[in-house]
Amino acid sequence: MINRIRDIRKSKGLTLAELAEACTPPTTPQTIGRLETGMRNLSLKWMERIAAALEVDAEMLVRSEKTPAPMVIASLRASGPEALTKPREALLPSDIAGEGTLAVLSVDESVGEFRPGDLLWLRQLDPADAPHAINRDVLVPRPGGRFAFGRLIDRQGELVGILPPGSRQKQQVVDNPPWIAVAEMLVRKL
């Protein structure tokens, strides 16, 4: 198994000291460094502590040696693509930190800016956190096993207003949804 703590820590912009402080209970930067490099055994207990501090699932901290990791090898700038000084492991959407369950909406027909084959990764939020999702694309459950999808444009009490992405569509209002899933990532095959 390959330890991915360092890659995930760096992708989140944390230092060893910041990660050590974020652990519950806090630990030392030296301990985190030893766990990252394999100089200290990464037990299940340590995996759970570090995963909680990084806000990822514990199983994301390791991967099989047989599975090659996708690498970020360049960054695109206005002047064109530039090689990174050191390639880094690309984190998959399920590795992204945050509260709430991840869900995926697949696009089967062109609707607004979405194309067939697109996968929209969404994170479920508690409806009380809806103000943070204003002007973002959301998926909201409706009665009868249906959904409303579009731009969250309004929140009044328990009513949620959503503007669908297609042209000439009217605002949909959902009363007291159990959750709101906010779009975090669009995956589009070329």
- Residue ranges covered by each domain of the chain: 1-90, 102-187
Read off the pLDDT of each residue in 145-173 and give the average, rounded to a whole number.
Answer: 88
Q: How far is 133 from 183, CA to CA, in rounded Å?
A: 9
CATH 3.40.50.720 fits 102-187, yes or no: no
Cβ-contact 63, 56 below 8 angstroms: no
Could you give phi then psi for residue 122, rounded to 5 degrees?
A: -125, 150
Cβ-contact 54, 97 below 8 angstroms: yes
The pLDDT value recorded for residue 94 is 53
CATH superfamily of 1-90: lambda repressor-like DNA-binding domains (1.10.260.40)
Cis amide leading into 116 (omega within 30): no
pLDDT at residue 22 is higher than 80: yes
The pLDDT value recorded for residue 23 is 95
The strand ranges marked E within 30-69 are: 62-63
The pLDDT value recorded for residue 69 is 67
Looking at mean pLDDT, say which of 4-13, 33-42, 130-139 comes out highest: 33-42
Average pLDDT value over all residues in the chain: 84
Lowest mean per-residue pLDDT among 64-68, 79-83, 185-189? 64-68
Cβ-contact 125, 141 below 8 angstroms: no
Do the domains at 1-90 and 102-187 have one common CATH topology?
A: no
Looking at mean pLDDT, say which of 67-71, 101-105, 150-154 comes out highest: 150-154
The pLDDT value recorded for residue 79 is 78
pLDDT at residue 61 is higher than 80: yes
